[in-house]
Amino acid sequence: MTTSSDTEIKTSPSKPARNNLTRQQQLQKLLSHKSGATIAQIQKAFDWQPHSARAAISVMRKAGHTIERSGSDKGTMYRIVKGG
């Protein structure tokens, strides 16, 4: 006899559920926030090195997105300009 606990899918509480977005889509979502994101925030979100974060932003530019770069007290902020 099979109990409901035998068929239950076990998930680790320390690991969040994966969404179906690609890394580029996740980066686009992060850079679409009103305040944008710093290289450090992108590094932390994707576990990337700084050069990988900058390269991903470059790929987005080449794909046609307009990326605005501005300085702040947190460092250089990058964000996607709407309508660009």
pLDDT digits (tens, 9 = 90+) for 32-59: 999 999 999 999 999 999 999 999 999 9
Strand partners, 22: none
Structural contact between residues 48 and 26, judged by C-beta atoms closer than 8 angstroms: no
Name 84's Cβ contacts closer than 8 Å, sequence gap at least 6: 65, 66
Q: pTM for the full model? A: 0.70
Spell 63-84 as b/e; 16+ CB within 10 A means b.
Answer: eebeeeeeeeeeeebbbbeeee
Return the structure tokens found at 30.
């992060």
Task: Establish if 9 belongs to a structural domain.
Answer: no
Task: Please give the residue range of the domain that contains residue 64.
Answer: 22-80
Tell me what pLDDT residue 20 has: 85
Task: Establish if 15 belongs to a structural domain.
Answer: no
Q: How many domains is the chain partitioned into structurally?
A: 1
Task: Establish if 54 belongs to a structural domain.
Answer: yes
